[in-house]
Each structure stands twice: as C-alpha cells, then as structure tokens.
Structure 1
Amino acid sequence: MLSTRGLSRAALRAPHAPQSWRSMAGRAPPPHVRTATHPYAQRKQRRFARSVVAVTALWATATALQWVVNGNSIMRQVHAEEPPHQEAEPEFKFEAPRRRAKSADENRALISSQHLQVVKSWENPGVYAWGSNAGRAVAPDSDEKYIKTPRRIPYFDGQLLRDIKLDKNFGAAIDERGDLLQWGVAFSKDVTEPTKTLRGQNLTSLAISRDRIVALSSGGTVYSIPVSQSEQNDGPKPKSTSWIPFWGASNNISYRTRTPENLGWSERVTDISSGLEHALMLTSSGRVFSFASGTQDFPSKGQLGIPGLSWENRPAGAFDIPHEITTLKGFPVKKIATGDYHSIVCDSEGRAFTFGDNTAGQLGFPFNAEATSVDAPSLLPTQRLYAGSAAQARVTNVFAGGNTSFLTVDATKADQSRTTADTWAFGFGLTGQLGVGRWIHTCADPIKVPAFSGLFEWDEARHVPIPIRLSTISVGSTHAAAVMDNVASVMVSGRTSKLTDNDTNWGRDILFWGNNEFYQIGSGKRSNVATPTYIQPLDQTAEQERAANAAGVKALREREMHRFQITPRQKVKVNGRNVEFEQKVECGRGCTAVYSAV
C-alpha cells in the first residue's frame, strides 16, 4: 500500500492527476503539470475551449443552411415538374378603397344602419313575414314548411296596409282602400296569393278567431266574415241597400253585421279584439260589448264577461248577438285585449279588470282548481305591486294573447317628482313568452319585465330625463314582440323640410321573445327565447351592401350585423304622393309579420 504522507491536500483532492506523478510522495510534478495549474494558464485554456465550441457551432449552422437551401431547390424543381392543373401561389390582394358617397343622404346610409333601414322602408313599402308556413300564410306561393328569416310577400310590394292578421292556416289584411284580402289553406287550397273578398266597406282594423274574421269599418260597423272561401260563396248573403227605390242586390260574399243595436247618439265602435271563440268591442263612450266570434264552440270559460251565460241559457236569436258587459258600467274603458280564452281591459282611471280562463294564472289571480275561470270582470289589485314604495300605480295599457297577459304601468311618487314606466307579465311562460328571463309554467302573480321597466332617456327640449314607455306589444299565441316608444329623431336640424348633412333618420327599438318552434322569432334559429332580444335587419341585402361599402368586404365578415329598427310614423313621398305611414309588427299563431301601415 502506498503511503499518502507528505502529499499536499490539493494533490489528495485531484483524482484526475496522472498516476505517474500522483503516487510520487514528496516529489514535484512535471513542468507541464505545474504550468497547467497556474491561474493564467487555466484562463487561457478555457478561452481555447470556448473558441473550439464556437467554431463547431458555426460549422453546424452552415451545414444546416446548406441542406435547407439544397432541399428547397430540390422541392422547387419537383413543384416545377408537377402537372399544370395545380393552383399557383396566391397573389397579394389589397382591400378595395371605400366607395365615396355621391350625396349627403347616401353618406348617412353608409354610416348609419338605422338611417338605411328607415329610408329603405320608405322607398320599398310592403310586408315581411316569417314562421310556420304549413297553411301558406307566410309565403302563399311556396310549399316550404318554415320561413326561417324575414321574407317579403311579393304581392304586397309597394303597397300600404291598414291592418294585417296571421294565423297558422290563413292570413287576412286590409289594403289602403279599405278592402279585405284573404289567403292561406283555410281560405282556399287553390289560391296562391291574397284575394279580395269584402269590398267597399272602408274597413280599418281586423281581429281573427278560429274560423271567422271580425272587421271594423271607419263608421263603426262590425262585420263577421267566414274564413273559408266556399262558406263565403255558399252562405247567406245580406241584401245591399240603395237610395234608389226598389233597387237592391246581394253582396258577393256571405257575412254578418254584429254592431251593437243600443248605442247612444253619436256613439260608435272604436276598437275590436278577438280570441279563438269570443270577441270584445269598445265604443267611443267607454262601453264594452262581447259576442261569440267563432262557430265551432260557444264561449264557455267566462271570457264573454256575462255571469252565468252558457249555450243552454243564451237569449233568443242568433248565437253570436252582442252583449253589453254591464259589470263595467261606471268604469269608462279605454283599452281592451283578448287571449285565446280570456279578456283584460283597463279604464281611464288606470284600473285593470280580467275575466275568463285562469288555468295558467293569466287573469292575475291564484289558480283555483274548483273554479278554473272567472265569468265576471274582476278588479286586478295593481296597487299591491308597489306596496311600500310610496308610488301610485296607474295602468296605461293592456295586452294579451294565448295564455299570457301584460300590463304597462306608470308608477308616480307621491310628490309627483318622478314617474317610472314598468311592464308586468303573468300567465303561462314555459316557453319564455312572459319575457322575464325564466321558464315559468304558470305565473298568477304579475312579474316585472326587466327589459321594459325603469328605463329613461334624456329630453333635449326640456333638459330632463323622461321614462321610456312601450309603444305597443303584439302578443301571439306563444310569442310576442314589443316596440319601444323611444324618441325617434327623424329631423335633427329642427323644422326644416330638407335634411342637412348631419341629420339622420332613426328607428325605434323592437324586441322579440317566446316560443320559437316554427322560427317565428325571426333569428334564423329554433331555440326558445325567454329574454326579449333583437333580430337582424329585415333587408339583409341592403345591410350587407352598406357594410361592404362602408368598411370593405373583409370587415363585413368580421363585424356583427346591426339590429332591426322599426320605422316610426312619418310623412314621406310614395309613388309621387305624400303619405303618412309607419312600420307595424303583428305576431300570430306561430308566425310574424312586419308591414307598412297607414
């Protein structure tokens, strides 16, 4: 065994030292070893090693680059030899420059989608419809089952209407002259476009039941017309009267007149509304009459508002003679609405009354299994909705459809300092038709609709905030649409008759919600909507052209389309004549229409 005595600690800790000198106790290492262990020599050695590493890395990089260049050259040769049918590399395409507007109005159309929608509705009046087309009510000339997005009915292009109503199996409208038009499978399976039926009566508004049409003339006369064309042709036709003695002739279709007989002097019917089996009539003095509007079943759920009235004990005479709702005497009614089997009215003092079927809580009262309907108008306790708020509630309008009801209420503080406009909903809401953001089977207690409640805007004239109210709600059997009564600034520059460069036409907000089984919401999708939502503009071609001209085709694909804004009432020139009209919405049974209304 070798002895380690006399070796330095450095030597003992250097296992890499050569065996030829590591074992020589007491001897000095060779000269080259002494030089290598000198600090300066160590630094020089490290620099040399780094140089070697750098040179090696550079050589490897150069080799890799040469391989890539050679490989690309080979690939290019291969591509050059491929068949000529393959596409060449795409060239750079620069975005087309924005088209310059030729006029101030065209510039506004490029900038504002709302302005374009309003102008297009003036230039191209007509009817857009969508939803179920099983009965050819939405597209009379098509056999498509669904119309998923708004589509124009060609027959009405360029026409203004007074009213329109849609059922799943038929449609009815009043043209600008006051004549009745009908179409759809329930009217005739052979008719592929709207056909005039009742003429020369100067009709102003419509209501439809399951199988009959109720029409109101400008003079207050109420007509009941069968939906079926064959029944119109084969049924009894009333005699026409003439100022010429002994001169009379039969009308060309069958219909009945249902104007109340005991009206006062200068009193006339001003409004009508119909459910599936019953209809209400409102007179200029605030009286309400009801009658059976269908022929399949007599109203039996209390929706006529006549306590105890049934088919067995009805008065002598025709089954559909009008009855005055005497319970409402002393309450001058100003608004009426009907659902499928229930009714709701409000008077000039802001009180609401409901009657009829209550199986889904659509009367605003708790469901009672022993009494599923109420056959007499009952006061709705609307003040209870604002209990503890020190605000006075006043009902301003009522709306109904299917098994749902809506109230618009003005809630004013005791000191008259502020008024809040709210909307309340109650009834059936399993498919979202209450619009409260939830899926509720039955709702007997009115729920505030957040989308239409507590909204304000700034009044530029008075410099104060004012509540945004609802202009109207159109309630179909399972879905609805609401038009906001927000300020529509048609003329920004004041009372001038000519638009300036800064003037822009604005539409009003319109939102849709509820059941969407037949694409009746108009979004192009089929999912139900529990919260009121916007849809895309009706004229998609014009909107795409506007977006493309304003921001380029690439930007069009990347940006979201603007929402549909409905045109407010305004006097414009149509076909060379000045006419005052607006766009209106109508929700029917599984379908929807927007039309140009005078």
Structure 2
Amino acid sequence: MFRRVGNSATSRSLRRLYSQASESGSRSQRSPAYIFGGTLVFISAAVAGTQLSRPTIHNDAYTTTEFADKQKAFQELPIIPKVEQADGKLRLVVWGSNKSHVISSDSTIDSIHTPEAVSLLEGAALRDLALHSNHAACVDARGDVYQWGDGFFGSPSSASDTKNRGPALTLSGKNITRLQVTGSRVFALSASGKIYVLSAQAERQGLPSGVPSPSSSPWWGTGWLWGEDGNIDFAEIVPAHALAWGEKFVSIAAGRDHLLALTSSGRTFAHPITKSANTHGQLGFRKFDIPNPYVAVHTPSSRIHVELTPKAVTDPLGQGSRFSRLSLLSSPPSNSNSPHTSEDLAGVDDKNIRFCDRLFEIPSMKSVKVNQIAAGGRSSYVRTDTGRVLGWGANEHGQIGLGGNVVLDTISVPTEVVLWRSTPGGTMTKCVDMRAGGDLAFFTVERIDGSSIRSVDLLSCGNGQYGGLGNALFSSAQGVPSRTKSVSGLLEFSEKTNNLQPITPRSLSVAPDGHVLLTLDTISQAGPGGGGQDLFAWGSNYDYQVGNGKRTSIAVPATLSRPDGNRFMLMKTKAAEVKDAKGKVWKKNVEVEQVAVAGHGNSVCIIAFLTRLRIPARSGNQDVFGSIWHARTWHVNKAPSPLTVELACFCACGASSSNHFAREVDIRSAEDVKVVYKFAEKTGVPIMKASGDYKGGSGFLYPKYQRWRHWLHAYLISILRLALLLKKMYGATIFGRHQGLEEVGMIDDHMKRTRYGHSPDSWKRLCLEVLEGSESQQFVKDRLKIDAELVESQSRGATGQRHITLWWSVRVE
C-alpha cells in the first residue's frame, strides 16, 4: 500500500521508488530561479491490477528532525484496492510540491516525494482536472466545476487554517467537459459548445454591485432551474461573429496569457486573456475590440478597439544584446518585459474576467481546416486534417520546431513545422497528435515506409534545460524536432493482424515547468487478462514531480517502479460506485481509467471516465462518440433553432426509424423498464407481458393489434427509448417530433388518421410526471432538461396541407 496524507497517525517510513532509467543521463540540471514546479495528476480507479502484493511500502527513513515530525501527518491506506473488497473507494495518487495545498488540501507537508494516496476527491471520478502553481480546478461526474488551492482561497494564516479548504463548487448546471487554467482565470467548455470563464481567486468571484447574477439573468439561460450559485460571478466568451448553423466549439487550449478554441467545422479562434496575450504574436492577430469598462450599457459603438503588437515588431533589436540598453529621456527601456499595448488599454484592468468577452477567428487560418489545437506558454500550434502542423509565437528555445537555421525569437505568422527531416525517401509522415506546455512541444508522428510497416515516433522541440525533451540531452534550445528516446519506434507482434504493430502513446501531459508524463497504449494489443498501460516520466524534478524519490532531473523517459520491482502501470476497470465532488453517489458500475496529468511541480493520479465509450452498432446510420449519440439524418437539420444545441444524439421519431436505435438491450419483460409502466399508468395504454430483445421497435412490448391503432403509440416509443438512455448512458439527449396543437385535443394527421395531439406544455407536463414517478423528483430537477416547441412542417402529407409538428428534446445531464 502507499501511504496516505493525513493528520492523525504516525506512519512507517516508505521505500523510495527508483526509476528504471539509466543513471548516466541523470545529472542535475536545475536552477531554483527558473523552477515553477510541475504538477502531475493521475486518476486512480479501483483496479485490481495496481494492487500491491505487500501490505506496506517501506522507504529509507529520513534522519532530519523536521521531516520526522512531518512524517506524523501520514496515515497508511491501500492505494487502489480491488473492486470486490470492502474498501473499494476511488482515490487520488499524488506526488510533488504541495506548497499551495493543490494536491492535498488538508496536509501541512510541502512536498510528497513518492506516490501517496490522499483523501482529496475520494470516491470521485472526474471528467477533467487542471492544475496551476497555486490553484486547481476539476470537473466532476455531473459536469460541475470545483476550485481549490491557496491561490483560490488565499494563503492560510496558520496550520489549522488549512481545514475546510477542499474543492469548492463554483459553476454548476453547465455540463462542463473540459477545463483550462491560467494564473488568473479558469476556462470551461460545455458539452453544448459554450465557453465560460471564472476568476481563479475566490475573492474576485463576487458579483459587482448593481450587476444581476448570471444564473438569474435570461441572457444566461436556465441557471435558476439547475441550482446555480447566484453569488458566483462568471461570464460566457462568445465568437465575434456568429458561428455557422450547427457549428460549436469542441476544444480549448490555454497558454500563459492567451486561449485557443476550435470549432466542429475546423475553424480556429483565439482569445486575449491579458494585455500580455500577444507579446510574441501567439494570438495570430493584433487588432481586436473589448467592452468599455466605463460604460454601463454595452453597445457595438461603445466597444474599444485596441492593438497588441509583438515585442519583436516594436523593438526588433531588443534581443540583440544580453545587456540592457540605455534609454533616452524618461522613456522605459526598449527591451522591457512589459507588453506593448495601445493607449486605449492604459486604464483597463486585465485581471477582470470581462477584460475581453469575445473569441476572434485567426485571419491566416480561415482557409485551413484544423483537427487539433495546442498552446504552449507563449506559442500556438494547430494540426490540420491532412496531418500537418503549423506553429507560431515564441521561438527563442526553438519550440516552434522550424529547424536549427531559424533563429528568430518570434514567429508571428503560422508556419509549418517540418517533421520529416532525416527520414528515408519514400517515407510517408503524418502527425496524429500533439501536446505543448511551457516552452516544450511534442508531436506524435506516424511513418509508413516502402514496406508498409507503420511506426510511430514521438518528436520534441523547445527548452530541454531540465531534460524535458527526453532525448538524453540537457539542451536549452532544440529547433529541430528530435526523437524522444525509449518511447519512439516501439513495435510488437500482433496475433490479430499477424504482423508488427506500433505501440502508440495513449496520453501525454506536458507541465509548464518542464516535466512530462506519458502513458503508452500497451493494453490495446494485450490478450485476455492483459495488464495496464506503462507510465513514463522525465524532465524537471526539483520538486519530486517525477515521482522517483529523488530531486535529479531526468533526460530520458523512465518508468516508475513498484516496491516489488514491477512497473507502475495505469489501469482501467468498472467502478462499483462513482461519486460527485460533494461525495454523493452519482452512478454505479461505471467504466473508469487512470489518467496522468502533469502540473506545476507536482503530479496526480485521478479517476477519469473512459475517453471514448464505444457501443458496437448493428445497423442504422449513427456514430457513437464518448457518451453522446449522433445521428446523421435529415431530422437534425429540420429541428427548430432553439433546440439545435440540445440535439446531440439520435431521432426517436416513431417505428419507421427503428434502425436509428438498433441496440441489443436485454429487456426480458416490460417490467424491466419502470418508466414504461408509469407512462401506461398516465395514459391507460395496455402493455404486453412478453419477453424479447428491444432493437428499435415496440412490437416486443405492446400488443400487436395496438401497434398502429393507438394514438399514443409514437409517444410510447419515444419514452421507451428515453428509458433505455437513462439505463445505459449519461450526458445524452433524446429528441423527436410528432404532430402537435396549440391546445391538446384530437387531430386529423397528414396520413388521414385521427390521433391525439399534444401541446408543448402538455407534453412537458406528461414527461415530468412520468419521469418523476419512475426516477425521482430530485433526479428530474438535477439531471433532466425538457424542451418542446411547435413548428410548421415544410412537407405536405396525403391531405395536401402542412401540419404543425411538435419538436421535443430531453437532455440527461
């Protein structure tokens, strides 16, 4: 077992976890003046594969009195117990710096030398986690945002003041899927494609006087319905020009002072966070507009037009000398680190979350379709749909990857990164993934030679002063992307394909301080009962963030070792119980996995949901991605605009669309679906007590003679499908369409049949009554969002007249 950070019992000393890397490349290359600390996070599920064979991990005892006193704060706990054991809780595993109480909020210890289990977020599985030097934020299973750390609460005045400083709920009801943090902001991307921003400090999250709460304002939607905290101030960042129909933001990446955003159509946007957002041209543009902070009512004419000019343009010779040049009169030094801004920004507070409220499309990227974005500290990267990489921004360490002959410290125009240097002729090269952090950039490159054997290399460039390049060199500048040792070009024989297959990186996390965590996808080729995924760590180790118990930086990727000598591996499993960040049970029997996240000077192993939850399709025309069902049918395009944001899955439009939900869901009897009985109770529809597998139609559950005669048949199909969604998924939306009326009553439909017609209000009431009876009132209040609207149909039926269609959607949060 690993030790757990606590405050009650004296623990035994622990045995150091030594890296398997060669000591030849382990010489120290650190300087306290440049170390900010790196945080690494793992999401740790209750996986039997990481269960240690010994009850205790022993460590070489430290002899200093100070550390001996601090050792009393540790309490032993099992790290990742088996699911079937009594203690089947999910726990974080952390190591590295805890000076700001980011990895253990209730501990007084400044650093954790080797992986430890902590009580922070115990039992919770997370959608995302982001760590900064003095504050952190996470998204729990419900999609709510929590923040903590000394940077958020303020520095504790005493040791006792560290109590009750755990994660605090700051944004709820928005179904957040991804987070990015900077020194002053927390950015959150929702499943519907909206981007929200909060302050990183609790004292700045209070609502300004005279400003209505975002949750109560109609501009902010249904915050009053979903229980948002009306005292927390947040803002939505919107594009300067409206997106196309059906287009939404799907990814965000934050640097030190700028934010990148990617839409579902492959368009790239940038957002200035502070006045320093364009010091090296990392925005991709100079001119933009911001709201006037001195005007109470904002109008397009009242906005301030500003310009942020890169320092290389304002002072092209400023970097020509290591020494400060004399300035004339009282002007500031020409090589000052202060950003060059227009005069209109002189009195504007860029610490306010409303400093800039818009995203601006990068002009030079308008004709380029992008599949992925990444942001370094002061640089930006995009990967196109053809597998090519463009980069721009700071390049003083060669982090843009333009080669050794390019010595410019600023690249203000997106320029292609050459990834095929030193490769044989005829070799096809394509980038399949990329990551960036601080002054480092990594590119996962797929190569195919003349023999059609595919290989995968991890290339790195930038500042490797502390070994972060992973190429066995401590180099402060690397302009040519070089292979990262130990994890590049790995092959293994696959019995399935009967040939060699590459071992690819599963995930990569780059810390701003220069340490890196990589997980190899060693489980995809494993057979029955195969192990987990290898975890490699390297780079800066000043705060023990590499996790080997030493403070020597490592220039070659090395695996972490368990006390029994085996490799420390990340696993996936089905958790018996998953809680939200408040400790309430969210769901049971959920598939989760361990994920490694690198931060400022520390590391964490958290429990996360599987990145892609795949359910094999047997027929139909839908895609399954994550926990969202997508349908490529004409129904999506015909939906009214107020509902398009919610239409994330498939259309439940009647028996004719049964193939849209062709899934083997084992319902041996209608009694298995409680919501069906509640619906029948409200409507009086008889239910056949028969068995069978539901595959889209309703014939298995209802009397055959009722199939086309009963006027509620279509509604029953919709509710049944919703019931299956509730049983199998979360974060999904079901929607459909039926003929409707302004007021409830009988209607002659377009097929010359008489049936019952719902109004939007009666349909929503019916859904609420049925779902509250089958689930609970609290479930409906916390997790369901129901919309309905009447729209005139564009098609004519057998009667030759257009009819009114009732469009509805139910979203499961």
Q: Is the TM value for this pair above 0.5?
A: yes
Residue 254 of structure 1 aligns to a residue whose secondary structure is coil
Query: Which range moves more in the overlay, 163-172 or 406-415?
Result: 406-415
Q: Within 1, Cα distance between the matches of 2:107 and 2:532?
A: 31
Aligned letter for 2:459?
A: W
Partner of residue 269, structure 1: 249
Q: Within 2, Cα distance between the matches of 1:108 and 1:592?
A: 18
CA 1:481/1:335 → structure 2, altered by over 3 Å: closer, same or farther? same
- Deviation (angstroms), 1:229: 0.2
Which residue, out of 126, 129, 142, partners 1:177?
Answer: 142
- Does 2:246 align with 1:281? no
Q: Within 1, Cα distance between the matches of 2:137 and 2:113?
A: 21
Contact persistence 1:121–1:567 (CA under 8 A): no
Aligned letter for 1:352?
A: V
CA 1:117/1:409 → structure 2, altered by over 3 Å: closer, same or farther? farther
Matches within 5 A, 1:35-114: none
Contact persistence 2:48–2:82 (CA under 8 A): no
Residue 393 of structure 2 aligns to a residue whose secondary structure is strand
Aligned letter for 2:194?
A: T
Contact persistence 1:481–1:585 (CA under 8 A): yes
Q: Within 1, Cα distance between the matches of 2:535 and 2:49?
A: 25
Q: Within 1, Cα distance between the matches of 2:80 and 2:344?
A: 51
Q: Within 2, Cα distance between the matches of 1:393 and 1:436?
A: 20
Query: Which range moves more in the overlay, 323-332 or 296-305?
Result: 296-305
Residue 216 of structure 1 aligns to a residue whose secondary structure is strand
The count of aligned residue pairs is 456
Aligned letter for 2:383?
A: C
Which residue, out of 61, 75, 99, partners 1:134?
Answer: 99
Aligned letter for 1:451?
A: S
Partner of residue 200, structure 1: 173
* Residues 464-491 of structure 1: per-residue CA shift (max 9 Å, x gap): 1111111121000110011112234777
Contact persistence 1:488–1:508 (CA under 8 A): no
- Does 2:428 align with 1:392? yes
* Residues 553-593 of structure 1: per-residue CA shift (max 9 Å, x gap): xxxxxxx532210114x545336822122111110111111
Partner of residue 291, structure 1: 271
- Deviation (angstroms), 1:111: 8.1
Partner of residue 232, structure 2: 253
Partner of residue 386, structure 2: 349
Which residue, out of 566, 577, 586, partners 2:597?
Answer: 586
Aligned letter for 1:362?
A: Q
Aligned letter for 1:285?
A: S
Partner of residue 214, structure 2: 238
Contact persistence 2:396–2:408 (CA under 8 A): no
Contact persistence 1:512–1:534 (CA under 8 A): yes
Contact persistence 1:358–1:367 (CA under 8 A): no
Partner of residue 518, structure 2: 482
Aligned letter for 1:423?
A: L
Partner of residue 228, structure 1: 201
- Deviation (angstroms), 1:268: 0.8
CA 1:217/1:313 → structure 2, altered by over 3 Å: closer, same or farther? farther
CA 1:128/1:108 → structure 2, altered by over 3 Å: closer, same or farther? closer
Partner of residue 187, structure 2: 214
Residue 358 of structure 2 aligns to a residue whose secondary structure is coil
Q: Within 2, Cα distance between the matches of 1:107 and 1:282?
A: 37
Q: Within 1, Cα distance between the matches of 2:492 and 2:237?
A: 44
Matches within 5 A, 1:115-514: 120=82, 123-189=88-154, 192-235=165-208, 237-238=213-214, 240-241=216-217, 251-260=230-239, 261-293=241-273, 295=274, 297-306=276-285, 310=308, 311-312=341-342, 318-366=355-403, 371-386=408-423, 388-414=424-450, 417-477=452-512, 478-488=514-524, 492=528, 504-514=529-539
Which residue, out of 529, 549, 556, partners 1:524?
Answer: 549
Contact persistence 1:412–1:419 (CA under 8 A): yes
Aligned letter for 2:485?
A: P
* Residues 327-355 of structure 1: per-residue CA shift (max 9 Å, x gap): 12332211111111111111110100001
Q: Within 2, Cα distance between the matches of 1:243 and 1:169?
A: 33
Contact persistence 2:145–2:171 (CA under 8 A): yes
Residue 116 of structure 2 aligns to a residue whose secondary structure is strand
Contact persistence 2:446–2:454 (CA under 8 A): yes
Q: Within 2, Cα distance between the matches of 1:156 and 1:239?
A: 26
Partner of residue 573, structure 1: 576
Contact persistence 1:356–1:375 (CA under 8 A): yes
Aligned letter for 1:220?
A: G
CA 1:250/1:200 → structure 2, altered by over 3 Å: closer, same or farther? closer
- Deviation (angstroms), 1:384: 3.2
- Deviation (angstroms), 1:313: 8.8
CA 1:314/1:371 → structure 2, altered by over 3 Å: closer, same or farther? farther
CA 1:118/1:490 → structure 2, altered by over 3 Å: closer, same or farther? farther
Matches within 5 A, 1:6-17: none
Query: Which range moves more in the overlay, 256-265 or 155-164?
Result: 256-265
CA 1:188/1:112 → structure 2, altered by over 3 Å: closer, same or farther? closer
Residue 420 of structure 2 aligns to a residue whose secondary structure is helix
Residue 588 of structure 1 aligns to a residue whose secondary structure is strand
Residue 206 of structure 2 aligns to a residue whose secondary structure is helix
Structure 1 unaligned regions, length at least 5 = 1-104, 493-503, 538-543, 545-559
- Deviation (angstroms), 1:285: 0.8
Contact persistence 1:232–1:253 (CA under 8 A): yes
* Residues 262-301 of structure 1: per-residue CA shift (max 9 Å, x gap): 21111111111111101111111111111023x4734321
CA 1:385/1:473 → structure 2, altered by over 3 Å: closer, same or farther? farther
Contact persistence 2:402–2:416 (CA under 8 A): no
* Residues 294-337 of structure 1: per-residue CA shift (max 9 Å, x gap): x4734321111226751429999953521111312332211111
CA 1:227/1:418 → structure 2, altered by over 3 Å: closer, same or farther? same
- Deviation (angstroms), 1:410: 0.7
Contact persistence 2:215–2:221 (CA under 8 A): no
- Deviation (angstroms), 1:142: 1.7
Q: Within 1, Cα distance between the matches of 2:80 and 2:222?
A: 53
CA 1:121/1:273 → structure 2, altered by over 3 Å: closer, same or farther? farther
Contact persistence 2:50–2:570 (CA under 8 A): no
- Deviation (angstroms), 1:596: 0.5
* Residues 420-461 of structure 1: per-residue CA shift (max 9 Å, x gap): 111111000011000111111111111111212111112122
Task: Return the structure number with greater helix share.
Answer: 1
RMSD over equivalenced CA pairs, Å: 3.3
Percent identity over the alignment is 29
Contact persistence 1:363–1:444 (CA under 8 A): yes
User: For the pair shown, which has the larger CA radius of gyration, 1 or 2?
Assistant: 1
Query: Which range moves more in the overlay, 245-254 or 327-336?
Result: 245-254
CA 1:347/1:155 → structure 2, altered by over 3 Å: closer, same or farther? same
Q: Within 2, Cα distance between the matches of 1:169 and 1:209?
A: 10
Q: Within 1, Cα distance between the matches of 2:469 and 2:576?
A: 39
CA 1:369/1:284 → structure 2, altered by over 3 Å: closer, same or farther? closer
Q: Within 2, Cα distance between the matches of 1:512 and 1:572?
A: 26
Q: Within 1, Cα distance between the matches of 2:179 and 2:145?
A: 9
Q: Within 2, Cα distance between the matches of 1:457 and 1:245?
A: 52
- Deviation (angstroms), 1:400: 0.5
Q: Within 2, Cα distance between the matches of 1:343 and 1:107?
A: 38
- Deviation (angstroms), 1:240: 3.2
Q: Within 2, Cα distance between the matches of 1:275 and 1:106?
A: 37
Q: Within 2, Cα distance between the matches of 1:110 and 1:195?
A: 33
Residue 210 of structure 1 aligns to a residue whose secondary structure is coil
Contact persistence 1:166–1:592 (CA under 8 A): no
CA 1:106/1:390 → structure 2, altered by over 3 Å: closer, same or farther? closer
Q: Within 1, Cα distance between the matches of 2:565 and 2:530?
A: 18
CA 1:401/1:110 → structure 2, altered by over 3 Å: closer, same or farther? closer
- Deviation (angstroms), 1:419: 1.2
* Residues 515-552 of structure 1: per-residue CA shift (max 9 Å, x gap): 00011111111110111111134xxxxxx7xxxxxxxx
